[in-house]
Structure 1
Amino acid sequence: MAEAAAPRARRGGRNHRAGLAGEDAAARFYESRGAEVLARRWRAPEGEIDLIVRDGGVIAFVEVKSGRGALRRDAIGPRQWARLEAAAVRYMLHAETGDAPVRFDAAFVGPDGAVDVVENARMSEAW
Structure 2
Amino acid sequence: MQDFGQRTRRLIRGRRAEASGRDAEGIAAVALEREGWAVLARRARTPAGEIDLVAERDGLLAFIEVKARPSLSEAAFALGPRQRARLVAAAECWVAANPGRGAAGMRFDVVIVAADGTARRIADAFRLGD
Please provide the CA RMSD for this pair: 1.6
The farther-off stretch of 63-72 and 18-27 is: 63-72
Determine the structure 1 residue equivalent to 2:108.
Answer: 104
Shift of 1:72: 4.3
- Consecutive unaligned residues of structure 1, counting only runs of 5 or more, are none
> TM-score scaled to structure 2, two decimals?
0.90
Determine the structure 2 residue equivalent to 1:117.
Answer: 121
Determine the structure 2 residue equivalent to 1:21.
Answer: 23
C-alpha contact 2:61 2:101 (8 A) present in aligned 1: no
Which runs of structure 1 show a deviation greater than 3 angstroms over 4 or more consecutive aligned residues? none
Shift of 1:69: 3.2
One-letter amino acid of the structure 2 residue matched with residue 75 of structure 1: A
Identity %: 38
Using a 3 Å threshold, how does the CA distance of structure 1 residues 80 and 74 change in structure 2: closer, same or farther? same
> TM-score scaled to structure 1, two decimals?
0.92
Using a 3 Å threshold, how does the CA distance of structure 1 residues 95 and 81 change in structure 2: closer, same or farther? same
- Consecutive unaligned residues of structure 2, counting only runs of 5 or more, are none
The farther-off stretch of 16-25 and 72-81 is: 72-81
Shift of 1:77: 0.9
Q: 1:95 and 2:98 equivalent?
A: yes
- Deviation string, structure 1 residues 32-85 (Cα, Å, up to 9, x no partner): 111100000001111110000002220000000002234243311111111111
For the residue of structure 2 that corresponds to 1:64, the secondary structure is: strand
CA distance in 2, matches of 1:72, 1:17: 16
Using a 3 Å threshold, how does the CA distance of structure 1 residues 99 and 75 change in structure 2: closer, same or farther? closer
Q: How does 1:1-127 map to 2 (within 5 A)?
A: 1-70=3-72, 71-97=74-100, 100=103, 101-124=105-128
